[in-house]
Amino acid sequence: MNSSGKQVKSKQRVADHGEVFTAKREVNAMLDMVKEETERIESTFLEPACGDGNFLIEILARKLKVVAGRYADNQLDYELHATIAISSIYGVDILEDNVRECRHRLNSFFLEQYKKLFPNTCKEECKKSVEYLLGKNIIWGDALDYKLVEDKNVFITFCEWTAVDEMMIKRKDFTMQSLLTNDVFAEIADSYDIDDFLPPDKEYPAIHFLRLYELGE
């Protein structure tokens, strides 16, 4: 089901794109098959046909539950690890409205949990950095040809976000095409350091996690 509780938005979308949403019960049953990974804060998930986020919202809920259990008594630690959890979640969808709704759902869920724990001290910088991450990680693209829908001359780019030092995050960009067509993809999939096997297309200086939105692009 989608965010409105329906498994289809319209018959035309089913005919044109094969769009059918997975119900929450089935989503959780599948995620339970990799339960330990869904509860590991930094474990990476990519949904190549994410719709409006049914799988990704449940993954985020599991991750943020772990973050709250460990760091609810320290706001800065909570913000850091919630940011890391969000940075590990990626989605691609061919329909622009799904991408917007997916970003909105994930962002709204984070804000709900954040405000519940720290109702009077939520930081605008944290909110802006999370919104920025979701804008980079949830992509309007076609996972079949690895390209953006809005510009078929441009390959989908994934940003790898790596925690360095105590509060710093480093961004490295890789195209989806290079990741999935590279001969060492099987090794990359088992590694936590993609650039051990594949150099990034671009990398950025490490930046404080509350200032990620300043990276732009």
User: Distance from CA of residue 18 to its chain's centroid?
Assistant: 23
- pLDDT-derived band at 11 (thresholds 50, 70, 90) equals low
pLDDT band at residue 197, thresholds of 50, 70 and 90?
A: low
Do 190 and 161 form a contact (C-beta atoms < 8 A)? Answer: no
Model pTM? 0.84
Q: Name the DSSP class of 175.
A: E
Which pLDDT does position 13 carry in this prediction? 42
Residues 37, 70: Cα–Cα separation, whole Å: 17
Token pair in block for residue 48: 């190549």
Task: Give the tens place of pLDDT for each residue, 69-102.
Answer: 999 999 999 999 999 999 999 999 999 999 999 9
8 A C-beta contact, residue 159 and residue 136: yes
